[in-house]
Structure 1
Amino acid sequence: MSPVLTEAELAPVRDTLMRFRAQNIPPVYIYLYDQPWHLFHRLTELIGHFLGEKYAILPNLWAWHLATPGDTGWPPHRDCDADTVLDIGGDRILMSLSLWVPLTDATPENGGMYVLPRTTQPGPEGLDLKQGVALPARAGSVLGWTQDIYHWGGAYTSEASGPRLSLSLEFQNRVFEPLIEPLLDFSKLPSFDQRLALVDAQFEKYRHIDR
């Protein structure tokens, strides 16, 4: 997968996450800075293609830094348990969309992303992870999926050639009732106080899944 974002855009975010790790600061605090928001603002055309012109940011965000054997991404999950692809009069309309941006090359060896195809439904015994599809991606690529798709991050292994740093942000078509409040206006940067409140809220929200 070819990069969409440039090295010059990625480097300040990646370098700050490296400093965070050295000081034991959780990676998600990167969203207190402007740069991650600017990265996603570069993707407005892509987001609008899938969600239409009227969309907003869902108050769900995270950042990862896997660099030691034993580090893992999140286990298999869906970002929304409801159907987020709707058939309306023969047209398929997306309610919401998750975007994931690797700041370093993401590979199966360093904890890259996996998805379960929509055609593969969980059976009575749960998910069949062998049906998962690896999504290796170069730094600056953009991966996205509808929010009812199962996906997960792999494990960092001793065969990895470098760390896996990545960001995620979620978006919703404003035509639909908000999946989560408050929806954020994507036309401007959140204030510092808004960002701090958002980041603080993520720890409780994802306590069950981030280990």
Structure 2
Amino acid sequence: MAIDPFEAFSPPSHSSSHFSQQRHFYVAVDRLQFKMETLVGLLDVAGRRPSLPMVVCCSSRDELDSVCSAVSNLHYISLASLYSDLAEADRSLILEKFRQTTSRWSQKFSSLSEEKCEAEKVGEKSHMIVVTDACLPLLASGESPLSAHVLINYEIPTKKETYMRRMTTCSASDGILINMVVGGEVVTLKSIEESSGLVIAEMPINISEIL
């Protein structure tokens, strides 16, 4: 991970009133070829929290497939994906299972100390959905938001409206949002930050510090 590109990245002093308990972070990756490796490293730590509900947002189906392939070897994460040609019954089942996970997380595990909170010890996998923008929950059609504790923007959206839609449909009101940024995407994320009134801080080296 490299953070030098963000030396001039100065967040505004105010935050959005909507979802004000959410925390927004960025991880700067110095080369594109290290991006997937960085994601897997983050999930290798976060995914060990039992019943932790996580969402990874991608801009394209190709990236979704790449993420699913890379994460499939992390056996303590239960993995699902939402994509355009998924059968409606399968989509409903994935959303329902994830709602059950968010319920378990809030009721049982969010207050456990770190040393007691590895998925392998308590027999509860974390749960992750990988989704493209075209397949985000449709709140206007009656679908419930995913309410994930951790939302990772593997690909930074080019528009503020897309970022905000990911935030409201995928993240819990007190959730953690992590933006993965490579090179010139710094400018894009800074623009989103300034236009939306959010504060996007540098993520600690150890993700467990913010979980």
TM-score relative to the length of structure 1? 0.31
Q: Which has the higher helix share?
A: 2
Q: Which has the higher contact order (CA 8 A, sep 6+)?
A: 2
